[in-house]
Amino acid sequence: MKGLVWIVGAGPGDPELITLKGLRLLSEADLVVYAGSLINPEILRHCKEDAQVLDSSKMTLEEQVRVMADRAGKGLKVVRLHTGDPSLYGAIGEQIRALEALGVQCRIVPGVSSLQGAAAALGIEYTVPGVTQTLVCTRLPGRTPVPPKEDLRVYASTGATLALFLSSNMGDEAAKLCMEGGLSPDTPAAWVYRATWPDQRVGRARLGELGQRMKAEHVSHQALIIVGRCLEESRSSLLYDPAFTHMYRKPGHRDPEGDGN
Ligand code: SAH
């Protein structure tokens, strides 16, 4: 075995939204490679004073892999920081394969995704009983193609909540495809720009005017688009219905505070 690289989710922006495990590893690391444009530099304050901290946006994949494999091979602690959670559009596969080809093991530490950051900013739940129980994370095709079977129209036709990554410069196109898929122009939609950062901005619009509104607000990058009735409907969850048997609650359960709610 030639060492270990920790792939760590840094969270969506707020430096307090990294896990305790991620923070510990970051504070112990000898080498940290981070995505310069998307990681809040505040988080790097936790690095050791003598840690080597490299911005991956200024390096090729080969350069990143070479330096990480070298330090890991020397028994040093290596952290590769990813924005949000590495499992969503993290492009970690290539890195892991290249490192493993050099005999370096990779372990992943999850992070809070911008998906969750956006829901918190909007004050919503993506899965609302009686409305939808499904959340679709997808994107419009860009440099990375989307398989034809995963056309946005297909998911729009289900009425599930849609979370669109990497598409905020295509609000018009996204709305058009959703409507072609059968959603009415009245369907609630929203965008969250830089969720959980100090300059976070949130906007809501009907699907029919989404593209135009996003353009007017100059939202063209670092934003998630959310589409669906979950944005409006906040029926109380069945889980809190007194008739619903829960593992820890028996039917007829009464609130110990006694107000019946
Ligand atoms: N792994 C990341 C996503 C990386 S892909 C995660 O879990 O969040 C980059 C895309 O994620 C951006 O184009 C944008 O759509 C979204 N994104 C990342 N950070 C964001 C943030 N703080 N607020 C809103 N969207 C964000």
**pLDDT tops 60 at residue 238:** no
Query: Residue with structure tokens 């007017």?
Result: 216
Q: H/E element holding 136?
A: strand 135-139
pLDDT for 154 equals 97
pLDDT for 233 equals 86
More confident: 200 or 246: 200
Query: Residue with structure tokens 């609000």?
Result: 171
pLDDT for 248 equals 54
Written as six digits, the tokens of 181 are: 């898929």
Q: Which residues surround ligand 1 with Cβ inside 6 Å? A: 12-13, 38, 83-85, 88-90, 113-114, 117-118, 165-166, 168, 192, 194-197, 222-224
**How many CA atoms, within 13 angstroms, populate the side-chain half-sphere of residue 124?**
29
> What is the number of other CB atoms lying within 10 angstroms of the CB of residue 99?
25
Q: Give the residue, out of 222, 225, 226, with the most ligand 1 atoms within 8 A of its beta carbon, to mutate for a pocket test.
A: 222
From the CA of 166, give the closest atom in ligand 1.
13
Interval between CA 74 and ligand 1 midpoint (Å): 33
Q: What percent of the chain has pLDDT over 90?
A: 86
> What is the number of other CB atoms lying within 10 angstroms of the CB of residue 218?
9
From the CA of 12, give the closest atom in ligand 1.
22
**How many CA atoms, within 13 angstroms, populate the side-chain half-sphere of residue 232?**
12
Written as six digits, the tokens of 23 are: 């923070």
**pLDDT tops 80 at residue 50:** yes
**pLDDT tops 60 at residue 153:** yes
pLDDT in tens, 207-216: 999 999 999 9
Q: Is the dihedral of CA 112, 116, 117, 118 positive or negative?
A: positive
From the CA of 225, give the closest atom in ligand 1.
15
pLDDT for 261 equals 41
